Chains A and B, each alone.
Chain A
Amino acid sequence: MASISSRRLAKELREIQSEGCPVGISLLEANDFAKWLFTIEVMGDSVYQGEVYTLQFRFDSHYPISSPAVQFVVTDGKEAPIHPHVYSNGHICASILGNEWSPVLSVIAVCVTLQSMLASCKKKERPTDNDRYVRNAPENPKKTLFHYDGEHYNFKSTYLQD
């Protein structure tokens, strides 16, 4: 029997293929249940108008109990959007990808969330701790604990110990 992970991903993929993705999001690659790529574009007026980004999902066998590892692709000439919650290495500080992940979320839900995160951005800027984070960031963004500092409206990051 297929694992819960692959069954769930197969189901999500079927829905994507039959219903398509929300506007501005399209499936770029889903050759297996380990890594999917999407393109994501903010529709309408935004500071990212006309810019297309590539979003990478990596799944482990515990998906959807464990969250996917989601980041923007920053290789092959691709870049991460300049956003206060997106590090220049493509890592994204979004709680739904970390502590507040829930298995009821889905790949498309994450895509839409991130698309919305971009759409609401008023000013393109990197996280304040971008340099510090990127310098030592783990390869897998899931190894990072992002902390939200409500007082300063400021995300900080932490590397999880292995």
Chain B
Amino acid sequence: MSSREPLWFCHECHAEMRPLMVPDPVCASCHGSFVEKMENAADDPRQFAAGDDIGDLGGAPGVDALLLTLQSLMDRGMEGRNSPNQRPPTGPSVTFEVRSPNGSRTVRFGGANTLGGRNHDGSGPASPDGVPNMSTFIRMPPLNPFGIPLGGPSGGAGVDRQNISGALMAQYLMALLGHNDTATLGMPENGRMGDYVFNQEALDQIISQIMENSNAHRPVPATEEVIAKLPREVLMEGSERLEQDCAVCKEQFKLDTEDPDEQIVVTLPCKHPFHQPCILPWLSSSGTCPVCRFQLVPQPEQHAPPGRPGADNGGSRSPPSPNAGPPSSLREQAMSTGAGAGRNGAPAPGNGNRGPEPGGLFHSLFSGLSGFAHGSHNNHAASNSNNTPSTSHNGGSGSSSSPNHDPSHPRSWSPSWGGTSGGSRPRSPRPTSPQPIPQQRSPPPRRSSSDPASPNSHSTSPRGRRSGNSNNLPGGWADELD
């Protein structure tokens, strides 16, 4: 170590030395760990430790007296503990006025509330003689019970006494020295003060906040401008819209509605139509298509599901590769599988590292249960002008049976569910050949928005067809859940 290296100061034995690095520095003299490098002349720890010079510190003349008071409170606490049934003593309060560069501040210790609860929880250490210096304070076991009746009538009632520790004391002192921005010196709500936490909950919250700040998955709402530019149409007699459903309310578009706004159909760029009153609230929370997740505004990147080598839409039941990381979410998985189903019909060029995907979970979740995908499919087909006329299922009657449907779409609840169960499944496994998709799809702007429609888009799900969802799952599930 170079001789020009600054010396260190030990707050415990007040030695100036070069510490032992083991690997954290400890005092070479007393082996204490509370050592500080003296590299900033403006913040010389020797001054801090010198009690006689405490008045020099940042205009905090009250520290000495503060420590005395704290000591006396502790001493009284000891008395109280010795006579547990005694009413807590009500000592006089001590008031400090602390002047700091931030202005003066009044600090009051003592008083009845301060000492409440002392009896049942006294576990303080034997009081050291005299006024402890700060390093002594910091090494002390928790100073419970100990309340500071600042910041409201509750005084120390909300204080988690067991968690008041030397760190809190340091915080008090820092506050007195004008280094703390907390308005009061009472125990903060939530067990937090500055950088300190005093209980598990507070720590959890801090962790949570950090994680929340880094959370990149919150949906981003569509801007008003984007929403305003969406094409709208008023339903007219004979419109093909009337055979389609709104995927949000799952009702068929119809002309006679109580709410005239429901005759306004908003079509997203992915061609999915919705009642205006249905889709606008959604877009205000997430700028995506509810059906296909087309992004009207850029959305936070989801975890990209890994490629699943060997997975195909032909009903492979092999478990997914254990090395394949799971996608970030069930829905993404669902989305991607739905897209995969469509891709079989309209082969898409290589799409990053994502191989062909097992099909239809998303589709099955959505279309099998709601019938929306049928409408979306038809709508999509209409945009490609190469499809059979659409039919719709979820009529106003509330029944979702589908008496007629596009023959190109075999009527089944879901290819993926159908293929996912074991032997008890009454229905044949999902088709081993790709579902026919009569039209080529235009390249999707993004993977997750690639396939608004899926091949089996009928909402009807007779009981038997729903029964096959028990055992193995479409490939992605195990991925997801491992």
Contacts and interface: CB of A to CB of B under 8 A. Distances in A.
Contact of A135 (B201, B212, B332): B201
Given A23-B466, A147-B215, A96 B370 contact: no
Interface string B455-482: 0000001110011011111000110111
A128 interface: no
Interface of A: 1, 4, 7-8, 11-12, 14-15, 18-24, 42-46, 62, 64-66, 84-85, 94-96, 99-106, 108-109, 112-113, 115-117, 119-122, 132, 135-136, 145, 147-148, 150-151, 153, 156-160
A94 B277 CA distance: 28
B481 A150 contact: no
B249 A8 contact: yes
Interface of B: 200-201, 204-205, 208, 211-212, 215, 217-219, 247-251, 258-259, 277-278, 281-282, 285, 288, 290-291, 293, 302-303, 325-332, 334, 365-366, 369-370, 372, 398-400, 417, 420-422, 424, 461-463, 466-467, 469-473, 477-478, 480-482
Best-buried of B421, B471, B473 by chain A (most CB within 10 Å): B471
A100 B330 contact: yes
22 contacts: A4-B278, A11-B250, A14-B398, A18-B399, A23-B463, A23-B466, A24-B469, A43-B470, A94-B329, A99-B217, A100-B332, A106-B250, A115-B469, A119-B471, A120-B473, A136-B201, A145-B215, A147-B215, A148-B328, A156-B211, A158-B212, A159-B204
A131 B325 CA distance: 25
Given A44-B470, A65-B248, A145-B215, A96 B329 contact: yes
Contact of A65 (B218, B281, B332, B478): B281
A95 B302 CA distance: 11
Given A15-B400, A45-B422, A145-B215, A108 B470 contact: no
B366 A159 contact: no
Contacts, number: 182
Given A95-B329, A136-B204, A112 B469 contact: yes
B370 A106 contact: yes
A73 to B, nearest CB: 21
Contacts of A65: 248, 281-282, 285
Contact of A108 (B369, B372, B421): B369
Best-buried of A18, A85, A158, A159 by chain B (most CB within 10 Å): A158
A46 B477 CA distance: 14
Given A85-B481, A99-B218, A44 B424 contact: yes
Given A11-B251, A19-B461, 4 more contacts: A23-B466, A105-B365, A113-B365, A119-B477
Contacts of A46: 470-471
Contacts of A23: 463, 466-467, 469-470
B334 A45 contact: no
Nearest to A158: B208
